[in-house]
Structure 1
Amino acid sequence: MKAATLLESDPSSGEAEGFFVEALARGLSVIRCFDQAHERLTISEVARLTGLTRATARRSLLTLSALGYMATDGKQFWLTPKILSLGHAYLSSTPLPRLLQPVLEEVSGQLHESCSASILDGEEIVYIARAATRRVISVGLGVGSRLPAYCTSMGRVLLAALAPGALEAYLARARLEPLTPYTLTDPTRLWQELAKVRAQGYALVDQELELGLRSLAVPVQNARGQVLAAMNIGVQAGRVSREELLGMLPVLRQAAASLVPLLGV
């Protein structure tokens, strides 16, 4: 497996420095600080979470409010449904989620288990398509949901596809927290596990993200072998054993293979 290369501009270097818009970057950091644990925030709280000054946080919040992406009662701020248009723009502009969705639904219908697809974004995976039959995790998942990459099956497939330098950088900055007693948090052991995932072409994660959850993932590749996404099935550990889950691997692999001709070169 080899990952597709993503080029990111460094605002502190070369030509990009002259085009980097600090105000835009600050506004995006304000949007990102709102999540399930921070649904409503004051100006001071936003400033603390983003590292911005209180005055800068205030200007960003008021600008977002004027544009309709934020609402306020004069003290606290919260996101409005209009913010979903930003995510919808991605889903509308790339064919990947549209190509994945019917395949996930077919796999889910065949195995009677939830099937999902995600991409890697920094230290997290982001769900871009999902077909759910039952809830197998305490947190509700849907398109746009984010989970840590290091302890999820799709995350490990995507991390295993990174170039060695990119993977080293990830392991150097990632916070490997023990979410359950089974979570792998040692960087050396994680590196070894990712090498195993790369060699076998799949990842099985057993109750490392949440007790009672097992998941199995495979890469979604184009004709050149570039890993564009990951696809998985999630099951309840008390209902499906590791062996039974591995028995579903051929179905998952066949589904991923069916996408290769559709994903270009």
Structure 2
Amino acid sequence: MNNDVKSAGRILELLELLARASEPLTLRQIVAELDYPKSSAFNLLQTLVSRGYAVREEPERYRLNEACRSGPGWTSGRDAQLIAIAQPILQKLRDDTGESTFLGVPSPGRRVKTIAKCVSKQTIRYDSELAGSFPSYCSAIGRVLLAALEPRLIDEYLASERLVKHTDYTVVDRGEIRRIIAETRSLGYSISDQEVEIGGSGLAAPVHDLTGKVVGALNVAVVTARFAMNRDRIIDALLQCAREFDLRNGFKGEIPAIEQR
């Protein structure tokens, strides 16, 4: 068997092991289970992490990316790069806020899909599957992505999107949505308070590529009962982590001015 075929077989065995595992595995556990040389296992893991198929957590533990298990599917290209950059930042943001964190990107029709997450350790917490897409007009991630568009494209989206009241708090007035989008652009972050689901509040901030283009948004999903008392602390942590993401992704330009809140 040539080396290429052997490496392909090992990659598949490693993916299968991570898929079976109920919790993240250490390098030592992986080496013991698969009987690979430590250097080979480490290199294979780094390849999977860099392509977005696996996630490295601190301390050095590895798990399958949830998008490959129950989400939108195998990742590649830009999404894989964003996931690799985002995962340690999502973990830090989760630990700093105590709440679940997500990375969202645009999907067809100006909708939103989440491609990575780090779930809160609290007993009562917000969680969501990495599957499908959801509307932009009422979600914090979606409003951040809409705020990066030209006014003409925002108008086209609002004219084509069916505005549904998911809860009594969902804003469906197009003029008010435009005002919220403008406020999001000014503040540099967005809030959706029980507009998608009762009991869940979301905060999001944009992340950029090296040219300064918005390519996604970091999101903190908060149990509403904890939202009001922790609002400013969560916003500060969110903005700091979004800036860290930008720097890791090569964007060193100025971030939007933050108004008094």
TM norm structure 1? 0.62
Partner of 1:173: 160
Separation in 2 of the partners of 1:244 and 1:261? 26
Equivalent residue for 2:85, pick from 99, 109, 123: 99
What does residue range 31-180 of structure 1 map to in structure 2 within 5 Å? 87-90=73-76, 94-121=80-107, 122-133=109-120, 136-137=125-126, 141-180=128-167
Unaligned stretches of 5+ residues in structure 1: 1-81
Q: Note the aligned Cα RMSD (angstroms).
A: 2.5
Separation in 1 of the partners of 2:179 and 2:144? 13
Partner of 2:63: none
Equivalent residue for 1:247, pick from 205, 223, 233: 233
Separation in 2 of the partners of 1:128 and 1:179? 22
CA contact (8 A) 1:154 1:203 kept: yes
Shift of 1:240: 2.8
1:238 correspondence with 2:231: no
Whichever residue aligns with residue 105 of structure 1, its letter is Q
Equivalent residue for 1:182, pick from 169, 173, 176: 169
1:205 correspondence with 2:205: no
Separation in 2 of the partners of 1:250 and 1:156? 19
Whichever residue aligns with residue 203 of structure 1, its letter is S
CA contact (8 A) 1:223 1:264 kept: yes
Partner of 2:215: 228
Unaligned stretches of 5+ residues in structure 2: 1-67, 252-261
CA contact (8 A) 1:216 1:245 kept: no
TM norm structure 2? 0.63
Separation in 1 of the partners of 2:227 and 2:104? 23
Shift of 1:223: 4.0
Post-superposition Cα deviations, 1:166-202, rounded to whole Å, max 9, x if no partner, equal 1111011011101111100011110111001001111
Partner of 1:195: 182
Separation in 1 of the partners of 2:96 and 2:70? 31
Q: SS in structure 1 opposite 2:146? A: helix
Aligned length: 181
CA contact (8 A) 1:120 1:149 kept: no
Tell me the percent identity. Answer: 30
CA contact (8 A) 1:129 1:142 kept: no
